[in-house]
């Protein structure tokens, strides 16, 4: 996939240490053509200055506009053929992007690809038995050997590491910001992709590390529960279909 450029869009909100770790891993383990775009949601922890020092493309917002809006702003300035929405609390590793791109472009019908990870919901959850990041990278050196036989079609992919073709975005548009500040915008995008005739694939030869919803964990449990239920109802109202059936 040497002729494919990937735009990696990372929304971030007061998560500088996580973002730094995320960017360092991308730079250490990505050998394909790529650009990083950070969309900062009004952070007060020095994130914009870090991005400027590191010469990372930056959209700096005066206040938190939420995950879907941040992703959309990044998508609008992205120059890549492939587009990747990445949480700032992700750590990538060996062969992560090459294997995901290989899966994405293995068939013209495939629109979105996601990896296995240690912290998520649904079919992408995988316990690889590591206890720290150094062990994660060691295990991934073997686990992320390219193997098309490990690919699996799914009805739903989680938006924590969400790779899709520009052709898909051109056909179905951006994320739906009615799901602001987040939750179910990825389910919505997957459903729209499927309605447009695209397939979703799990790249079973890729595992990444996810620290785990650090931005939303800043909310108390009651607030988070209300948000999740509210956006679940929004999805139901929009599509008359329960997204939980796709888990």
Average pLDDT over every residue of 92-103: 98
pLDDT class for 247, splitting at 50, 70, 90?
Answer: confident
Task: Give the pLDDT of residue 222.
Answer: 92
Is the pLDDT confidence value at 215 over 60?
no
* Cα-Cα-Cα-Cα dihedral sign, residues 244, 185, 226, 123: positive
Q: How confident is the model at residue 143 (pLDDT cuts 50, 70, 90)?
A: very high
CATH number of 5-242: 3.90.550.10
Predicted confidence at residue 182, as pLDDT, reads 96
Q: What is the pLDDT of residues 50-72, one digit of tens each?
A: 999 999 999 999 999 999 999 99
Indicate whether 73 pLDDT > 90: yes
pLDDT at 103 over 70: yes
Between the CA atoms of 118, 120, 123 and 126, what dihedral angle is there, to the nearest 10 degrees? 10
| pLDDT computed for residue 198 by the predictor | 98
User: Considering the chain, what is the average pLDDT of its residues?
Assistant: 95
Give the pLDDT of residue 218.
59
Task: State the CB neighbour count (10 A cutoff) for residue 170.
Answer: 8
Length of the chain: 247
pLDDT tens column, 186-196: 999 999 999 99
Write down the pTM of the prediction: 0.95
Q: Where are the domains of the chain?
A: 5-242
Q: What is the mean pLDDT of residues 32-44?
A: 98
pLDDT at 2: 67
214 pLDDT exceeds 60? no
Give the angle 37-15-49 at the CA atoms, nearest 5°. 60
What was the pLDDT predicted at 219? Answer: 65
Question: In Å, how far are 25, 26, 42 from 35, measured between CA atoms?
Answer: 14, 10, 22
């Amino acid at each position: 996939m040497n002729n494919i450029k990937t735009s990696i869009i990372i929304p971030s909100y007061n998560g500088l240490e996580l973002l730094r770790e995320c960017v360092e891993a991308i730079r250490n383990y990505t050998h394909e053509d790529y650009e990083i775009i950070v969309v900062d949601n009004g952070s007060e922890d020095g994130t914009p200055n870090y991005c400027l020092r590191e010469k990372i493309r930056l959209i700096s917002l005066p206040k938190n506009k939420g995950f879907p809006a941040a992703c959309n702003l990044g998508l609008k300035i992205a120059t890549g053929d492939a587009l990747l929405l990445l949480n700032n609390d992700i750590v990538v590793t060996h062969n992560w992007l090459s294997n995901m791109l290989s899966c994405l472009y293995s068939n013209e019908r495939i629109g979105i690809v996601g990896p296995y990870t240690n912290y998520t919901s649904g079919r992408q959850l995988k316990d690889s038995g590591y206890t720290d990041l150094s062990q994660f990278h060691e295990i991934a050196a073997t686990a992320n050997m390219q193997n098309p036989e490990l690919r699996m079609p799914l009805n739903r992919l989680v938006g924590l590491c969400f790779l899709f073709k520009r052709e898909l975005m051109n056909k179905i548009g951006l994320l739906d910001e009615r799901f602001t500040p987040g939750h179910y915008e990825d389910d919505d995008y997957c459903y729209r992709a499927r309605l447009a005739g695209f397939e979703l694939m799990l790249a079973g030869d890729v595992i990444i590390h996810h620290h785990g919803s650090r931005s939303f964990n800043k909310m108390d449990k009651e607030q988070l529960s209300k948000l999740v239920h509210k956006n679940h109802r929004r999805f139901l109202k929009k599509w008359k279909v329960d997204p939980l059936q796709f888990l």
